[in-house]
Amino acid sequence: MDSIVVTGNGPLSGQIPIAGAKNACLTLMPATLLSDEPLTLTNAPRLSDIHTMTELLGSLGAEVSQLQDGQVLAMSSHDLNNHTADYDIVRKMRASILVLGPMLARDGHAIVSLPGGCAIGARPVDLHLKALESLGAELDLRDGYVHARAPGGLKGGVIDFPIVSVGATENALMAATLAKGTTVIKNAAREPEIVDLAQCLRKMGAQIEGEGSHTITVQGVDRLHGATHPVVTDRIELGTYMLAPAICGGEVELLGGRMDLVGAFCEKLDQAGVDVRETDKGLAVKRRSDHVRAVDVTTEPFPGFPTDLQAQMMALLCTADGVSVLEEKIFENRFMHAPELLRMGADIDVHGGHATVTGVPKLKGAPVMATDLRASVSLILAGLAAEGDTTVSRVYHLDRGYEHVVRKLRGVGANIERIKEQ
């Protein structure tokens, strides 16, 4: 099993290109199932999760070609010959559930395994299913599969989510595009990935209003056509690399970065003593002094502080002046990186959904183990600021969400290498 070795070696300097968003691309890819015409995505990230979605779509009869070194995905679903998403593929990634709405909307039936994914607490699919039932779907759960039918096609309706759910909003939005009549999605997620999906669906001929707000209205159409769409910048990769110079000094420019994607995150960086400024090519980041200040962080749905940046922010606050409190309100069990940071000399006390972090003068390199995608990169960030070597094992998690992490950090002066499994 591969590992990554990081040796703290001082300030960073240079540029890091930011890829297209993993979470956006994984949502856009199933949209090809809504039409028998080609859908082409540009600025696609090159990640293992994208390969998994490619495998899933291929198993359903869709054609997916990776062009331009994988940064362009050319897809066609003109001949869907299977409507069962098997457990063997779906178990690898929770985003697999997003094929359910499109298949049901287009052909009136689908069988999809309940999904798997990384273990960061309960992320049930009941909101997805209730949304589809609001559009007239008949659902039966048996043997670990969702058996869905809409013999007369889906019908517009009112979907009122009890809590905000990004994935359920995406599934409902795609299904509603081909439903007969008007669908109103209330308490919809507002994430940039939702806006990106709506923009792509509109290019395909969908009639959508209100994306980016808590109420989205969809007027169903008879069919969707092909389109070409660029995947939005990955705000989580952006925020992750913004923390690199904040942790170990120097100044780094994030190419393609946009302030509107990371507004709440930038506010916390400013409070901590980190400057973020817009450039012609993206965002430049530099801390104002040798140490950052402690800040309190609460994760919230967009436009709040992203849960997917909580682990990385904790790594920064491990060496801040003062005491910080991080509150995780999105997912349970998402402080699994804390014990690994303790191995590096951090002072962290976790109680339920709260973590109290008391800054220490310096972290120490140590062997640590990645427990999930964001935890893995938080340990790499901590290693950039630690004395000695930090060896991060189980980095296969990293490959699901960060392309060329070693190359990108080396490009700004980090001492980092990937050790291949013998």
Tell me if 16 is assigned to a ligand binding site: no
Q: Report whether 124 belongs to an annotated binding site.
A: yes
Alpha carbon of residue 228 to chain centroid: 22
Annotated ligand binding at 363? The verdict is: no
Q: How many helices (H) and strands (E) does the chain have?
A: 13, 24
In 3D, which of 336, 305, 393 has the Cα closest to residue 6? 393
Question: In the numeric block, which tokens belong to residue 86?
Answer: 């098997």
Is 389 among the annotated ligand-binding positions? no
Q: Is 394 annotated for ligand binding?
A: no
Please tell me whether the peptide bond between 303 and the residue prior to it is cis, using omega within 30 degrees of 0.
Answer: yes
94 is in an annotated binding site: yes
- Report how far residue 157's alpha carbon sits from residue 171's, in angstroms, rounded to the nearest whole number: 14
- Spatial strand order of the sheet with 389-393 comes to 367-369, 389-393, 3-7, 415-419
Q: Do 40 and 228 meet the contact criterion of CB atoms below 8 Å apart?
A: yes
Task: Say which of 25, 118, 200, 318 is annotated catalytic.
Answer: 118
Helices 373-385 & 235-248, crossing angle to 10 degrees? Answer: 20
| Residue of 227, 269, 236, 235 whose CA lies nearest to 74 | 227
Known catalytic membership, residue 248: no
258 annotated to bind ligand:
no
CA 401 to chain centre: 7
Q: What is the CA radius of gyration of the chain?
A: 22
Residue owning tokens 């998402």: 334
- Confirm or deny that 92 is annotated as ligand binding: no
Helix/strand/coil for 115 = coil
Q: What does 173-206 look like in DSSP terms, one character per residue? A: HHHHTTSBSEEEEES----HHHHHHHHHHHHTT-
Q: Supply the DSSP symbol for 400.
A: G
Is residue 223 part of an annotated ligand binding site? no
Q: Report whether 112 contacts 99 (CB < 8 A).
A: yes
Residue 330 annotated as binding site: yes
The 3-state secondary structure of 228-272 reads: EEECCECHHHHHHHHHHHHHHCEEEEEECCCHHHCHHHHHHHHHH
Annotated binding site for UDP-N-acetyl-alpha-D-glucosamine: 94, 123-127, 308, 330
Active site amino acids:
118
Annotated binding site for phosphoenolpyruvate: 22-23
Annotated binding site: 22-23, 94, 123-127, 308, 330
